[in-house]
C-alpha cells in the first residue's frame, strides 16, 4: 500500500471512530436534557426518568469489559461495526417506543451496543496507527468526543424546541448508516485471531448484569412499593447474592472479565474507590440539577443544557495543566484536595431556592465543582493505570466500568433518598391543610414526581395553592438533600485519595489522561504494546 493510501486509511479510520463514539456521547448528554419532556409524554414520574438513564448505564457498565474481550477475539473492526449498527437499531426502537417500558428496554439495548462500540473504537485506532502517531490520533478522538458531549445538551435543547423528543433518537439513524458504511469501506479487516481455546466470560457478564439489576430495581421502585414489599426485598437480596456469586466466579475463572488480583495493588484499589465516589457525585449533580432547573426553576431544555456547559469548558482549559503538575509533583495532593474543592462547589447549591438565578445561584457552585474536578480527573486516571503496571489495558476498562456503575448506583440510591425526603416533606407541609378526595389523589400523584410541580387542575383554589407551594418547598428541600449526599461522596473520594494513594514513579503520564473517563477509555490504557485490547482481556492479564 502506498504512503498516500495508508494516510487515507488512517484518516478515514479516525473519522469513523470519532463518528461512532460521538454518536454515543451525543446521545447520552441529549437524553438527560430530554427527561422532563419524555416524562410528560409517557408518564412514570421520577422512577421512569431514572430508568431511562439507568437502563442504559446498567448494560453498558456491566458489559463494557466483555465488549473489549470480544473485539480482542473476533476483530475490533467487526465488533465496532456491530456495535455502531446495534446502537442505530436501538435508537430507532427508542424513537418508536409507545410506552415508557419499551423505551427503557430499548435504552438497555443501546447500552449493550455501546459496550461493544466504546472499547472497540479505541482498539481500532491503536491497531491502525503506529506508536509514533497514536498519541495524536487518540488525542483527536478524545477531543472530538468531548465536543460531542458538549453539543449534546445544546443540540437536544434546540431540537426539543421545534420537534418531538423522538427526533433526539431518530437523528442517530442516518449518522449510524454513514458510520457503518465508512467502517466497512475504509477500515481494513484485521488479521484473524488465534483464539487458542480462549473463552469469553459469559457467566461473569450474566452474573454482573443480574446482580446490578437487582438493587437498581429495588432502589428505583422502593418509593412506590415500600421497603416491606416482596417486589423490593426480593430483587435486593437476590442482587446481593448474585454479586457475591459474581465475585466468587471471577476469583476462580481462568479468564475472568474482572481480574480481582488488580485490586491487591494499593494505588489501583484506592484510585477506583475514588473514581466511584467522584463519578457518582458527578452523575447525581447532572441528573438532578437538570430536572430541578426545568421542573422547578422553569428553565427550557436548552437553558438547562447550557447551564452545565461551564463544567466542560473549565475541564478543557485546566485538566491538562493539572495533569502536568501531577506528573511533576505526584498525584496524591491533587487527588486529595481536588475532590474537597469539588465538594465545596456542591455544597454551594444549598442556597438555591425555587426562584433560580443562574449567575448567583448556579454558576459559582458549578465553577468551584469544575475546578475540583479538573484537579482530580487526570491524576486519578493516571494513578489507576500506573498502579496496574503492565496491565494498563484491562485497568483502563475496569476504571471505565467503575465510573459507569458509579453513575448508575449513585443516581438510583440518591433518587430513593430524594423520593422519600420529598414525600415526607410534602406531608409535613400539608399536615394542617384540609384536602378533599381530589386533593389527596393529587398529593399521591405529586409524590411520583419529586422535583416537579403537581397537576392542581380541578382543585379548589385554596387547596391548589397549598399543594403547589408545599410541593415547591419539598422539591427544594429534596434537591438540597440529593446534592449534599453527592458532596459527601465526592469528599469521601478525596479522603480516600489522600490516605490511600502513594506518590511513585509513573510510566503513565497524567497529562495524557486529561479527559479521564468522562469521554471514554483512557488513551494511556493502550499505550503498552503488551496490551492487546483496551477494556478487554489482555494476554498479560491472565
Cα–Cα distances (Å) from 91 to 43, 413, 430, in that order, read 20, 27, 43
As a whole number of angstroms, the longest Cα–Cα distance in the chain is 83
Ramachandran assignment for 45, one of left (phi > 0), alpha (psi -120 to 50 degrees), beta (any other): left
239-265: average pLDDT: 89
Contact indicator for 277, 490 with CB cutoff of 8 Å: yes
Cell of 126: 491503536
Give the per-residue pLDDT at 16: 92
Three-state DSSP state, 184: helix
pLDDT in tens, 499-535: 998 887 666 555 556 556 665 554 444 443 333 333 3
**Res 100 pLDDT > 60:** yes
The beta strand positions in 253-379, using DSSP E, are none
Which domains are present in the chain?
Answer: 1-189 (1.20.1250.20), 210-256 (no CATH), 266-428+438-519 (1.20.1250)
Which residues make Cβ contacts (< 8 Å) with residue 383, sequence separation at least 6?
Answer: 267, 271, 331, 335, 501, 506, 510
**Res 36 pLDDT > 60:** yes
Cell of 72: 480482542
Give the per-residue pLDDT at 227: 87
- Which residue bears the cell 448556579? 362
175-189: average pLDDT: 90
Round to the nearest angstrom and report the end-to-end CA distance of the chain. Answer: 36
Burial of 377 (0-12, 13-18, 19+ CB in 10 A): buried
Average pLDDT along the chain: 85
Contact indicator for 111, 59 with CB cutoff of 8 Å: yes
**Res 542 pLDDT > 50:** no
Give the per-residue pLDDT at 328: 87
Q: Which of 105-109, 133-137, 235-239, 318-322 bottoms out in mean pLDDT, i.e. has the lowest?
A: 133-137
Amino acid at each position: 500500500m502506498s504512503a498516500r493510501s495508508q494516510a487515507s486509511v488512517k484518516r478515514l479510520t479516525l473519522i469513523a471512530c470519532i463518528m461512532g463514539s460521538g454518536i454515543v456521547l451525543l446521545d447520552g448528554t441529549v437524553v438527560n436534557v430530554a427527561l422532563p419532556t419524555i416524562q410528560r409524554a409517557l408518564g412514570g414520574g421520577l422512577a421512569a426518568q431514572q430508568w431511562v438513564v439507568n437502563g442504559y448505564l446498567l448494560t453498558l457498565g456491566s458489559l463494557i469489559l466483555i465488549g473489549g474481550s470480544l473485539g480482542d477475539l473476533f476483530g475490533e473492526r467487526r465488533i465496532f461495526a456491530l456495535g455502531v449498527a446495534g446502537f442505530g437499531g436501538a435508537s430507532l426502537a427508542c424513537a418508536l417506543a409507545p410506552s415508557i417500558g419499551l423505551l427503557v428496554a430499548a435504552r438497555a439495548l443501546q447500552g449493550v451496543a455501546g459496550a461493544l462500540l466504546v472499547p472497540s473504537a479505541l482498539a481500532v485506532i491503536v491497531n491502525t496507527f503506529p506508536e509514533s502517531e497514536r498519541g495524536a490520533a487518540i488525542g483527536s478522538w478524545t477531543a472530538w468526543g468531548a465536543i460531542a458531549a458538549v453539543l449534546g445538551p445544546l443540540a437536544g435543547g434546540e431540537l426539543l424546541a421545534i420537534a418531538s423528543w423522538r427526533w433526539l433518537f431518530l437523528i442517530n439513524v442516518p449518522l449510524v448508516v454513514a458510520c457503518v458504511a465508512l467502517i466497512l469501506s475504509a477500515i481494513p479487516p484485521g488479521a484473524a485471531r488465534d483464539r487458542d481455546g480462549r473463552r469469553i466470560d459469559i457467566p461473569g457478564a450474566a452474573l454482573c448484569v443480574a446482580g446490578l439489576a437487582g438493587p437498581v430495581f429495588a432502589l428505583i421502585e422502593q418509593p412506590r412499593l415500600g421497603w416491606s414489599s416482596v417486589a423490593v426485598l426480593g430483587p435486593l437480596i437476590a442482587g446481593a447474592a448474585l454479586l457475591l456469586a459474581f465475585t466468587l466466579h471471577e476469583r476462580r475463572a481462568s479468564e475472568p472479565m474482572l481480574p480481582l488480583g488488580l485490586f491487591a495493588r494499593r494505588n489501583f484499589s484506592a484510585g477506583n474507590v475514588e473514581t466511584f465516589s467522584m463519578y457518582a457525585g458527578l452523575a447525581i449533580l447532572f441528573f438532578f440539577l437538570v430536572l430541578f432547573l426545568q421542573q422547578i426553576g422553569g428553565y427550557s431544555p436548552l437553558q438547562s443544557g447550557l447551564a452545565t456547559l461551564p463544567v466542560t469548558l473549565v475541564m478543557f482549559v485546566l485538566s491538562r495543566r493539572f495533569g502536568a503538575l501531577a506528573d511533576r509533583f505526584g498525584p496524591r495532593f491533587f487527588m486529595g484536595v481536588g475532590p474537597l474543592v469539588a465538594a465545596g462547589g456542591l455544597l454551594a447549591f444549598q442556597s438555591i431556592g425555587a426562584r433560580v438565578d443562574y449567575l448567583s445561584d448556579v454558576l459559582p457552585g458549578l465553577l468551584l465543582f469544575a475546578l475540583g474536578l479538573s484537579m482530580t480527573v487526570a491524576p486519578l486516571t493516571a494513578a489507576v493505570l500506573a498502579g496496574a503496571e503492565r496491565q494498563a489495558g484491562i485497568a483502563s476498562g475496569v476504571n471505565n466500568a467503575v465510573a459507569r456503575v458509579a453513575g448508575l448506583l449513585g443516581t438510583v440510591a440518591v433518587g430513593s433518598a430524594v423520593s422519600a425526603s420529598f414525600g415526607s416533606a410534602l406531608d409535613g407541609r400539608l399536615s394542617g391543610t384540609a384536602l378533599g378526595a381530589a386533593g389527596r389523589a393529587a398529593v399521591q400523584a405529586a409524590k411520583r414526581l419529586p422535583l416537579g410541580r403537581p397537576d392542581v387542575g380541578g382543585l379548589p383554589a385554596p387547596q391548589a395553592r397549598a399543594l403547589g407551594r408545599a410541593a415547591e418547598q419539598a422539591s427544594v428541600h429534596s434537591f438540597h438533600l440529593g446534592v449534599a449526599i453527592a458532596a459527601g461522596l465526592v469528599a469521601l473520594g478525596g479522603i480516600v485519595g489522600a490516605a490511600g494513594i502513594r506518590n511513585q514513579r509513573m510510566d503513565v503520564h497524567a497529562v495524557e489522561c486529561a479527559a479521564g473517563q468522562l469521554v471514554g477509555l483512557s488513551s494511556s490504557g493502550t499505550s503498552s504494546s503488551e496490551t492487546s485490547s483496551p477494556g478487554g482481556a489482555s494476554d498479560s492479564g491472565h
